[in-house]
Structure 1
């Protein structure tokens, strides 16, 4: 009886192993470790996510896609993905959509895309107000540079919705808007709009047929489509399942 149980257990383990290998090779189920804060606060640095190519990508979902640029997501079972890296960002624009970013707020087909999302946004605060932010909240924003001290009379802090509500009556939060195109040398260079568009103000931009547009939830700390261009449908490798 004991031998039969062991044989049965071995067969089950073998079947599971074969299914897992098939799922990885075909893209039916892939596992990624997130090494950057590009999608915080939704997907945090160090999170584990699963993706599948069995689902059709829809707006607001996170997608994994191949890119020629080197950035954030590396598979746990591959050190290099073909000729490029794997990005993971929130799908914002699909073929035919018209995008416009107005002072850091994304509009898709004239509707506020960001309204229901909890995003990481940057705000200017006075240097004296920095002391009013609780230490736990500073640690909870971003591991990398949670507060950027400016040479002038203000600092830049990264807040999500909960912290905005907590501090908006205590300190003056002025949205930090990127205006100087000379400091954003990669923004829309692929679209020949580098001299007129910024990461926080661009458009109208119509998504071509067969292309997609994705942004990081951590809007000022993400190497997303604003810098790398449209995503081809064939380069989308899967939709995130557990976020």
Structure 2
């Protein structure tokens, strides 16, 4: 959830609120590889919403969704990386090295301030992600996903670090019963 919630932050939650778009929620999740876990993600789709991601841009019901301090992967040179190092989202931001180009995770604000917003690392439409295909039975990827209509009692959640998040694109929709509560503050 970086850049908005950092590794090691404490969270205060409530289960007394009505869940809405952009709420950050804590929920139980279990799989055969890691067992029971607690995840923290942002609700971007509620029941009856249609979610689609085109060229890395999230759409809800046909309109661009509001962004709340999201970060993405960007292509930068070695020299640019040295200049950006103090602005990286976390210690884990250096993703890949391709010849003289690095893939780093930056907040959108930092990318725009450094004139890098046109260098976002976006997968092509013909790239299929095996994990997404396993969950949804579709040849989608993190940057070209949907359209998907959210059924009753389900939620679609995304991490704020959009290119590095094991969220609903990969784990599927979240049942309302899995949600422990909404995050109301962090420290």
Map 1:150-161 to 2 at 5 A: 150-161=97-108
- TM-score (norm. length: structure 1): 0.69
Q: What's the counterpart of residue 30 of structure 2?
A: 68
Change in 2 beyond 3 A, CA 1:172/1:84: closer
Q: Is the 8 A contact 1:125 1:172 kept in 2?
A: no
Larger relative contact order (Cα-Cα within 8 Å, sequence gap ≥ 6):
2
Deviation at 1:233, TM superposition (A): 1.4
Q: Equivalents in 2 of 1:158, 1:70: separation in Å?
A: 29
Aligned counterpart in structure 1 of residue 15 of structure 2, from 36, 49, 53: 53
Matched, 1:129 2:69: no
Closer, same or farther in 2 for the Cα pair 1:71/1:89, shift >3 Å?
farther
The alpha carbon displacement at 1:71 in A equals: 9.7
Q: CA RMSD in A?
A: 2.3
User: 1:242 is matched with which residue?
Assistant: 185
Distance in 2 between residues matched to 1:64 and 1:99, nearest whole Å: 21
Consecutive unaligned residues of structure 1, counting only runs of 5 or more, are 1-38, 73-82
**1:131-210 matched pairs, under 5 angstroms:** 131=82, 133-137=83-87, 140-144=88-92, 146-168=93-115, 173-179=118-124, 181=127, 184-193=129-138, 196-210=139-153
Q: Judging changes above 3 Å, is the alpha-carbon distance between structure 1 residues 237 and 149 closer, same or farther for their aligned structure 2 residues?
A: closer
Residue aligning to 1:6: none
SS in 2 for 1:162: helix
What's 1:106 paired with?
58
Number of residue-to-residue matches in the alignment: 185
Counting helix residues as a fraction of each chain, which structure ranks higher?
1
Aligned pairs (5 A) from 1:204-243: 204-242=147-185
Residue 188 of structure 1 deviates from its aligned partner by 4.2
Provide, for residues 168-212 of structure 1, a one-character-per-residue CA deviation record: whole Å limited to 9, x for no partner. Answer: 1xx685110133746x4312421111xx20011111110011111
Q: Which residue of structure 1 aligns with residue 39 of structure 2?
A: 87
Q: CA deviation at 1:155?
A: 1.2
Look at both structures and tell me which one has the larger radius of gyration over its CA atoms: 1
Unpaired stretches in structure 2, ≥5 consecutive residues: none
**What is the TM-score with the length of structure 2 in the denominator?**
0.88
